[in-house]
Amino acid sequence: MIKIKSAREISLMRQAGKITAAARALAGDMVTAGVTTREIDKAVRDYIVSQGAVPTFLGYNGYPASVCISVNDELIHGIPGKRELKEGDVVSIDVGATKDGYVGDCAATFIVGDGDEEAKRLIAVTRQSFFEGIKYAREGYRISDISHAIQEYVESNGFSVVREYVGHGVGAKMHEDPEVPNYGKPGHGPRLMRGMTIAVEPMVNMGGAAVRVLDDDWTVVTADGSLAAHYENTILITAGEPEILTVSEVI
């Protein structure tokens, strides 16, 4: 069931979203050569806790860390550890924070140092596909209008949209109805209504769309070993333009 948020709930989600976005920005600033993914995870966890919030991912279905950090061919759910980032690595950061019972969820992909031009283009296209999608995140449109716009933009730039993982509603729980795919024909799915809060999150591969899960039962990688990127924000459906709730100084 899709939950329409009250004014009070929306206010609480703005607070959670601001903390989450700031945590994402902090992690992005740390994406430099020689830093371990575990160091990024600890810094983000410490920041979220310092804001009176809780890292949403920590312990979620048994997940062992506060941040998902996915490198190069890892699409999502990469577990932080001893890995040291190196020049040219493509690093996706996915973070959630729960504050006063409500969740903010966002992600972005960064590159270590200068990086490869095609890798930079993958990251830019993934990010822009989010903004292409939310042009349709307005009252009266349907979920798949967002989905179609994302797919059309990604594929027109020569990249592939992942099918197995999708965006979702978000609120008192990290995953609520409805699902928000990044592909599909327009005009389908639930109609968007004022007060809905959803996480729109394009997941894009440089090569084919196929993915697989590693033996840790968490890390999702591209089946062909190509680079992957991820971008996400929690948004609110309003009477006009959608409001991005996971916003700090940097979105």
The pLDDT value given to residue 248: 77
**Which amino acid, residue 200?**
V
91/43 Cα distance (integer angstroms) = 16
Whether residue 2 is contained in a domain is answered as no
Whether residue 212 is contained in a domain is answered as yes
Inter-CA distances, 169 with 48, 53, 79, Å? 22, 20, 24
Whether residue 129 is contained in a domain is answered as yes
The pLDDT value given to residue 250: 43
Q: What are phi and psi of 23, to 5 degrees?
A: -65, -40
Full residue range of the structural domain in which residue 114 is found = 7-244
Report how many domains make up the chain. Answer: 1
Whether residue 85 is contained in a domain is answered as yes
Whether residue 250 is contained in a domain is answered as no
Whether residue 95 is contained in a domain is answered as yes
Determine the Cα angle at 146 with ends 145 and 152, to 5°.
Answer: 85
Whether residue 69 is contained in a domain is answered as yes
Read off the pLDDT of residues 158-169 as tens digits, 9 standing for 90 and up: 999 999 999 999
Domain holding 191: CATH number? 3.90.230.10
Whether residue 249 is contained in a domain is answered as no
10/110 Cα distance (integer angstroms) = 29
Inter-CA distances, 197 with 77, 103, 121, 170, Å? 22, 10, 29, 6
Read off the pLDDT of residues 93-147 as tens digits, 9 standing for 90 and up: 999 999 999 999 999 999 999 999 999 999 999 999 999 999 999 999 999 999 9
pLDDT per position in the chain (251 positions), as tens?
Answer: 999 999 999 999 999 999 999 999 999 999 999 999 999 999 999 999 999 999 999 999 999 999 999 999 999 999 999 999 999 999 999 999 999 999 999 999 999 999 999 999 999 999 999 999 999 999 999 999 999 999 999 999 999 999 999 999 999 999 999 999 999 999 999 999 999 999 999 999 999 999 999 999 999 999 999 999 999 999 999 999 999 999 975 44
Q: How many residues are there in the chain?
A: 251
